[in-house]
Protein backbone atom coordinates (compact mmCIF):
# COMPACT_ATOMS: atom_id res chain seq x y z
CA UNK A 1 0.00 0.00 0.00
CA UNK A 2 1.43 3.38 -1.04
CA UNK A 3 1.68 6.47 1.12
CA UNK A 4 -1.26 8.08 -0.68
CA UNK A 5 -3.42 5.00 -0.97
CA UNK A 6 -6.81 5.94 -2.51
CA UNK A 7 -6.24 9.68 -1.98
CA UNK A 8 -7.40 11.89 -4.85
CA UNK A 9 -4.93 14.64 -5.78
CA UNK A 10 -5.45 17.60 -8.09
CA UNK A 11 -2.17 18.93 -9.54
CA UNK A 12 -1.93 22.08 -11.68
CA UNK A 13 0.86 22.79 -14.14
CA UNK A 14 1.03 19.02 -14.29
CA UNK A 15 2.40 18.51 -17.80
CA UNK A 16 6.00 19.65 -17.28
CA UNK A 17 8.86 19.90 -14.80
CA UNK A 18 7.96 19.68 -11.11
CA UNK A 19 4.23 19.09 -11.74
CA UNK A 20 4.94 16.15 -14.01
CA UNK A 21 7.19 14.45 -11.45
CA UNK A 22 4.68 15.15 -8.67
CA UNK A 23 2.01 13.34 -10.73
CA UNK A 24 4.26 10.33 -11.33
CA UNK A 25 5.43 10.17 -7.69
CA UNK A 26 1.82 10.35 -6.46
CA UNK A 27 0.81 7.55 -8.88
CA UNK A 28 3.69 5.40 -7.56
CA UNK A 29 2.23 5.96 -4.07
CA UNK A 30 -1.22 4.76 -5.18
CA UNK A 31 -3.02 8.09 -5.45
CA UNK A 32 -5.61 8.92 -8.08
CA UNK A 33 -4.27 11.99 -9.90
CA UNK A 34 -6.20 14.71 -11.73
CA UNK A 35 -3.57 16.45 -13.84
CA UNK A 36 -4.47 19.94 -15.06
CA UNK A 37 -2.47 22.08 -17.43
CA UNK A 38 -3.06 24.73 -20.07
CA UNK A 39 -0.99 22.70 -22.58
CA UNK A 40 -3.25 19.96 -24.01
CA UNK A 41 -0.62 18.14 -26.08
CA UNK A 42 1.82 18.01 -23.15
CA UNK A 43 -1.00 16.51 -21.06
CA UNK A 44 -1.45 13.75 -23.64
CA UNK A 45 2.29 13.00 -23.46
CA UNK A 46 2.05 12.94 -19.65
CA UNK A 47 -0.70 10.33 -19.88
CA UNK A 48 1.15 8.22 -22.48
CA UNK A 49 4.35 8.06 -20.44
CA UNK A 50 2.73 7.58 -17.04
CA UNK A 51 3.75 4.63 -14.86
CA UNK A 52 1.25 1.76 -14.64
CA UNK A 53 -0.20 2.84 -18.02
CA UNK A 54 -1.64 5.91 -16.31
CA UNK A 55 -4.79 4.07 -15.27
CA UNK A 56 -5.22 6.30 -12.21
CA UNK A 57 -4.20 9.47 -14.08
CA UNK A 58 -6.91 11.74 -15.46
CA UNK A 59 -5.91 14.74 -17.53
CA UNK A 60 -7.98 17.90 -17.88
CA UNK A 61 -6.96 20.95 -19.88
CA UNK A 62 -7.39 24.10 -17.80
CA UNK A 63 -6.04 27.63 -17.76
CA UNK A 64 -5.82 28.43 -14.07
CA UNK A 65 -6.20 32.17 -14.70
CA UNK A 66 -9.80 31.59 -15.88
CA UNK A 67 -12.30 31.13 -13.07
CA UNK A 68 -14.87 29.36 -15.28
CA UNK A 69 -12.26 26.79 -16.30
CA UNK A 70 -11.32 26.22 -12.66
CA UNK A 71 -14.98 25.70 -11.76
CA UNK A 72 -15.28 23.16 -14.59
CA UNK A 73 -12.06 21.44 -13.47
CA UNK A 74 -13.20 21.06 -9.86
CA UNK A 75 -16.72 19.90 -10.71
CA UNK A 76 -15.44 17.38 -13.30
CA UNK A 77 -12.92 16.01 -10.79
CA UNK A 78 -15.49 15.69 -8.01
CA UNK A 79 -18.07 14.17 -10.37
CA UNK A 80 -15.57 11.55 -11.60
CA UNK A 81 -13.84 10.75 -8.30
CA UNK A 82 -16.45 11.66 -5.69
CA UNK A 83 -14.01 13.83 -3.73
CA UNK A 84 -10.63 15.58 -3.75
CA UNK A 85 -8.17 15.21 -0.84
CA UNK A 86 -5.03 16.98 -2.00
CA UNK A 87 -4.47 20.15 -4.03
CA UNK A 88 -1.02 20.90 -5.44
CA UNK A 89 -0.98 24.47 -6.75
CA UNK A 90 2.08 24.06 -8.93
CA UNK A 91 1.47 25.97 -12.20
CA UNK A 92 3.72 29.00 -12.36
CA UNK A 93 5.49 31.30 -14.78
CA UNK A 94 8.72 33.26 -14.52
CA UNK A 95 9.22 36.94 -15.27
CA UNK A 96 12.18 38.44 -17.14
CA UNK A 97 14.03 39.71 -14.03
CA UNK A 98 12.56 43.20 -14.42
CA UNK A 99 13.07 45.58 -11.50
CA UNK A 100 9.92 47.43 -10.45
CA UNK A 101 10.47 50.48 -12.67
CA UNK A 102 10.61 48.21 -15.73
CA UNK A 103 7.53 46.02 -15.09
CA UNK A 104 4.68 46.64 -17.56
CA UNK A 105 1.09 46.28 -16.37
CA UNK A 106 0.61 43.30 -18.67
CA UNK A 107 3.68 41.53 -17.31
CA UNK A 108 2.60 42.22 -13.70
CA UNK A 109 -0.90 40.90 -14.40
CA UNK A 110 0.36 37.79 -16.24
CA UNK A 111 2.65 36.77 -13.39
CA UNK A 112 0.15 37.59 -10.63
CA UNK A 113 -2.71 35.82 -12.40
CA UNK A 114 -0.85 32.54 -12.83
CA UNK A 115 1.31 32.50 -9.68
CA UNK A 116 -1.13 33.99 -7.17
CA UNK A 117 -4.69 34.58 -8.39
CA UNK A 118 -5.01 31.06 -9.88
CA UNK A 119 -3.87 29.30 -6.67
CA UNK A 120 -6.10 31.64 -4.62
CA UNK A 121 -9.19 30.91 -6.76
CA UNK A 122 -8.59 27.17 -6.67
CA UNK A 123 -8.18 27.21 -2.89
CA UNK A 124 -11.37 29.25 -2.53
CA UNK A 125 -13.23 26.71 -4.68
CA UNK A 126 -11.94 23.69 -2.79
CA UNK A 127 -12.03 24.84 0.85
CA UNK A 128 -15.85 24.36 1.21
CA UNK A 129 -15.41 20.83 -0.19
CA UNK A 130 -12.55 20.16 2.24
CA UNK A 131 -14.61 21.55 5.15
CA UNK A 132 -17.49 19.26 4.21
CA UNK A 133 -15.17 16.24 4.26
CA UNK A 134 -13.26 17.50 7.32
CA UNK A 135 -10.08 16.79 5.38
CA UNK A 136 -7.93 18.68 2.91
CA UNK A 137 -4.26 19.07 2.17
CA UNK A 138 -3.02 22.04 0.12
CA UNK A 139 0.55 22.30 -1.12
CA UNK A 140 1.54 25.49 -2.90
CA UNK A 141 4.68 25.47 -4.99
CA UNK A 142 6.39 28.70 -4.06
CA UNK A 143 10.08 29.56 -4.53
CA UNK A 144 13.07 30.83 -2.60
CA UNK A 145 12.27 33.91 -4.71
CA UNK A 146 9.39 34.31 -2.24
CA UNK A 147 11.80 34.44 0.70
CA UNK A 148 14.69 36.50 -0.69
CA UNK A 149 14.86 39.69 -2.72
CA UNK A 150 17.30 38.93 -5.52
CA UNK A 151 16.24 35.63 -7.08
CA UNK A 152 13.86 36.99 -9.75
CA UNK A 153 12.20 40.20 -10.93
CA UNK A 154 9.74 42.30 -8.92
CA UNK A 155 6.60 40.59 -10.21
CA UNK A 156 7.70 36.98 -9.66
CA UNK A 157 9.23 37.84 -6.27
CA UNK A 158 6.04 39.59 -5.14
CA UNK A 159 3.81 36.76 -6.36
CA UNK A 160 5.75 34.14 -4.39
CA UNK A 161 6.03 36.26 -1.22
CA UNK A 162 2.24 36.68 -1.39
CA UNK A 163 1.72 32.96 -2.02
CA UNK A 164 3.69 32.25 1.15
CA UNK A 165 1.43 34.65 3.07
CA UNK A 166 -1.68 32.98 1.64
CA UNK A 167 -0.24 29.61 2.67
CA UNK A 168 0.43 30.63 6.27
CA UNK A 169 -2.91 32.39 6.66
CA UNK A 170 -4.82 29.39 5.28
CA UNK A 171 -2.79 26.90 7.31
CA UNK A 172 -3.63 28.75 10.50
CA UNK A 173 -7.26 29.68 9.88
CA UNK A 174 -8.40 26.15 8.95
CA UNK A 175 -6.05 24.19 11.22
CA UNK A 176 -8.85 23.07 13.54
CA UNK A 177 -11.01 21.85 10.67
CA UNK A 178 -8.82 19.09 9.28
CA UNK A 179 -7.18 21.19 6.59
CA UNK A 180 -3.44 21.67 6.21
CA UNK A 181 -1.78 24.20 3.90
CA UNK A 182 1.98 24.28 3.29
CA UNK A 183 4.33 25.54 0.61
CA UNK A 184 7.53 24.23 -0.91
CA UNK A 185 10.20 26.78 -1.84
CA UNK A 186 12.53 25.19 -4.38
CA UNK A 187 15.87 26.65 -5.36
CA UNK A 188 16.98 26.29 -8.99
CA UNK A 189 15.45 23.19 -10.59
CA UNK A 190 16.06 21.82 -14.11
CA UNK A 191 12.69 22.43 -15.81
CA UNK A 192 11.28 24.45 -18.71
CA UNK A 193 10.36 27.49 -16.62
CA UNK A 194 13.33 29.50 -17.87
CA UNK A 195 12.77 28.75 -21.56
CA UNK A 196 10.90 31.99 -22.13
CA UNK A 197 13.48 34.22 -20.44
CA UNK A 198 15.00 36.62 -22.96
CA UNK A 199 18.53 37.19 -21.62
CA UNK A 200 19.22 39.77 -24.33
CA UNK A 201 16.71 42.06 -22.61
CA UNK A 202 18.44 41.95 -19.22
CA UNK A 203 20.26 45.09 -18.11
CA UNK A 204 24.04 44.75 -17.56
CA UNK A 205 23.53 45.19 -13.79
CA UNK A 206 20.90 42.46 -13.69
CA UNK A 207 23.03 40.06 -15.76
CA UNK A 208 25.93 40.56 -13.33
CA UNK A 209 23.64 40.08 -10.33
CA UNK A 210 22.34 36.83 -11.83
CA UNK A 211 25.81 35.49 -12.55
CA UNK A 212 26.97 36.35 -9.02
CA UNK A 213 23.87 34.74 -7.51
CA UNK A 214 24.14 31.57 -9.57
CA UNK A 215 27.79 31.16 -8.55
CA UNK A 216 26.60 30.87 -4.93
CA UNK A 217 24.17 28.08 -5.79
CA UNK A 218 25.77 24.77 -4.77
CA UNK A 219 23.84 22.85 -7.45
CA UNK A 220 20.73 22.63 -9.61
CA UNK A 221 18.02 20.26 -8.46
CA UNK A 222 15.97 17.70 -10.38
CA UNK A 223 12.16 17.95 -10.47
CA UNK A 224 11.87 14.53 -8.84
CA UNK A 225 13.74 15.85 -5.77
CA UNK A 226 10.99 18.43 -5.31
CA UNK A 227 8.33 15.77 -5.96
CA UNK A 228 9.72 13.86 -2.94
CA UNK A 229 9.26 16.97 -0.74
CA UNK A 230 5.72 17.43 -2.05
CA UNK A 231 4.97 13.77 -1.28
CA UNK A 232 6.21 14.27 2.28
CA UNK A 233 3.81 17.18 2.76
CA UNK A 234 0.98 15.30 1.02
CA UNK A 235 1.14 12.24 3.26
CA UNK A 236 0.61 11.73 6.97
CA UNK A 237 4.37 11.62 7.72
CA UNK A 238 4.08 15.41 7.91
CA UNK A 239 0.83 15.55 9.91
CA UNK A 240 2.27 18.09 12.40
CA UNK A 241 3.51 20.44 9.66
CA UNK A 242 1.05 23.20 8.76
CA UNK A 243 1.43 26.79 7.60
CA UNK A 244 5.06 26.08 6.73
CA UNK A 245 7.21 27.14 3.78
CA UNK A 246 9.63 24.28 3.32
CA UNK A 247 12.86 25.27 1.56
CA UNK A 248 14.43 22.74 -0.82
CA UNK A 249 17.38 24.56 -2.36
CA UNK A 250 20.55 22.52 -1.68
CA UNK A 251 21.64 25.27 0.77
CA UNK A 252 21.58 28.13 -1.77
CA UNK A 253 19.85 30.46 0.73
CA UNK A 254 22.06 29.24 3.58
CA UNK A 255 24.82 31.50 2.27
N1 LIG B 1 12.29 25.44 -11.97
C2 LIG B 1 12.71 26.19 -10.97
O3 LIG B 1 13.92 26.50 -10.86
C4 LIG B 1 11.73 26.65 -9.92
C5 LIG B 1 12.25 27.24 -8.76
C6 LIG B 1 11.38 27.68 -7.78
C7 LIG B 1 10.02 27.53 -7.95
N8 LIG B 1 9.53 26.96 -9.08
C9 LIG B 1 8.08 26.85 -9.22
O10 LIG B 1 7.73 25.54 -9.57
C11 LIG B 1 6.46 25.54 -10.23
C12 LIG B 1 6.53 24.64 -11.45
O13 LIG B 1 7.43 25.18 -12.39
P14 LIG B 1 8.45 24.33 -13.28
O15 LIG B 1 9.79 24.82 -12.95
O16 LIG B 1 8.15 22.90 -13.20
O17 LIG B 1 8.10 24.95 -14.72
P18 LIG B 1 7.63 24.33 -16.11
O19 LIG B 1 7.57 25.49 -17.03
O20 LIG B 1 8.49 23.17 -16.49
O21 LIG B 1 6.15 23.80 -15.81
C22 LIG B 1 5.10 24.69 -15.53
C23 LIG B 1 3.79 24.13 -16.07
O24 LIG B 1 2.75 25.06 -15.75
C25 LIG B 1 1.87 25.16 -16.86
N26 LIG B 1 1.15 26.42 -16.85
C27 LIG B 1 1.64 27.67 -17.07
N28 LIG B 1 0.65 28.56 -17.05
C29 LIG B 1 -0.49 27.88 -16.79
C30 LIG B 1 -1.86 28.26 -16.66
N31 LIG B 1 -2.25 29.53 -16.82
N32 LIG B 1 -2.76 27.30 -16.39
C33 LIG B 1 -2.39 26.00 -16.25
N34 LIG B 1 -1.12 25.58 -16.40
C35 LIG B 1 -0.18 26.52 -16.66
C36 LIG B 1 2.80 25.03 -18.07
O37 LIG B 1 2.09 24.67 -19.25
C38 LIG B 1 3.78 23.96 -17.61
O39 LIG B 1 3.32 22.68 -17.96
C40 LIG B 1 6.16 27.01 -10.54
O41 LIG B 1 5.20 27.49 -9.63
C42 LIG B 1 7.48 27.70 -10.32
O43 LIG B 1 7.34 29.05 -9.95
C44 LIG B 1 10.37 26.52 -10.08
Domain parsing of the chain, residue ranges: 8-254
CA dihedral for 75, 80, 85, 89, sign (positive or negative): negative
- List % helix, strand, coil for the chain (3-state, nearest 5): 55, 15, 30
Mean pLDDT of the chain: 97
Query: Contact 15/35 with Cβ under 8 angstroms?
Result: yes
Averaged over 109-113, what is the pLDDT?
A: 98
Q: Is the pLDDT of residue 67 over 80?
A: yes
Q: Phi and psi (nearest 5°) for 46?
A: -60, -45
Interatomic CA distance for residues 234 and 178, integer angstroms: 13
CB 217 less than 6 A from any atom of ligand 1: no
Query: Contact 58/34 with Cβ under 8 angstroms?
Result: yes
Q: Is the pLDDT of residue 242 over 80?
A: yes
Give 179 Cα–ligand 1 centroid separation in angstroms.
25
Q: Choose which residue among 91, 142, 167, 183 to substitute to test ligand 1 binding: the one with the highest number of ligand atoms within 8 A of its C-beta.
A: 91
pLDDT, residue 204, reads: 84
Closest atom of ligand 1 to 145 CA is 6
Interatomic CA distance for residues 39 and 16, integer angstroms: 9
Query: Contact 136/180 with Cβ under 8 angstroms?
Result: yes
Q: Is the pLDDT of residue 147 over 80?
A: yes
Give 216 Cα–ligand 1 centroid separation in angstroms.
23
pLDDT, residue 54, reads: 82
Q: Is the pLDDT of residue 14 over 90?
A: yes
CB 193 less than 6 A from any atom of ligand 1: yes
Q: Tell me if the pTM is above 0.95.
A: yes
CB 229 less than 6 A from any atom of ligand 1: no
CB 95 less than 6 A from any atom of ligand 1: no
Beta-bridged to residue 136, according to DSSP, are: 179
Q: Phi and psi (nearest 5°) for 55?
A: -65, -30
Closest C-alpha to ligand 1, atom 25: 13
pLDDT, residue 203, reads: 86
Q: pLDDT tens digits for 16-53?
A: 999 999 999 999 999 999 999 999 999 999 999 998 87
CB 116 less than 6 A from any atom of ligand 1: no
For 8-254, which CATH class? alpha beta
Which residues have CB under 8 Å from 249's CB, separation 6+? 144, 185, 186, 187, 188, 217, 221
Per-residue pLDDT band for 6 (boundaries 50, 70, 90) equals: confident
CB 61 less than 6 A from any atom of ligand 1: no
Averaged over 56-67, what is the pLDDT?
A: 98
Quick check: is 172 catalytic? Answer: no
List the alpha helices (DSSP H) in the chain. 17-28, 40-48, 67-81, 105-112, 118-133, 154-173, 204-215, 223-234
Catalytic residue among 24, 135, 156, 255: 156
Interatomic CA distance for residues 168 and 82, integer angstroms: 28
Least trusted range by pLDDT, from 51-60, 176-185, 216-225: 51-60
Amino acid sequence: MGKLNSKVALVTGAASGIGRDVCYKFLEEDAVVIAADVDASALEALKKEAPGKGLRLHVIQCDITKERELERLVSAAIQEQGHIDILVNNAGVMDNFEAVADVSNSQWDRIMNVNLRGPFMLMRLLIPHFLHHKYGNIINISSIGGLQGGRAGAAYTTSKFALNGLTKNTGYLYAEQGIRCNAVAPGAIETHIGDAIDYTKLSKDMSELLITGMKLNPRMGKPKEIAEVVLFLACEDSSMINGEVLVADAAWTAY
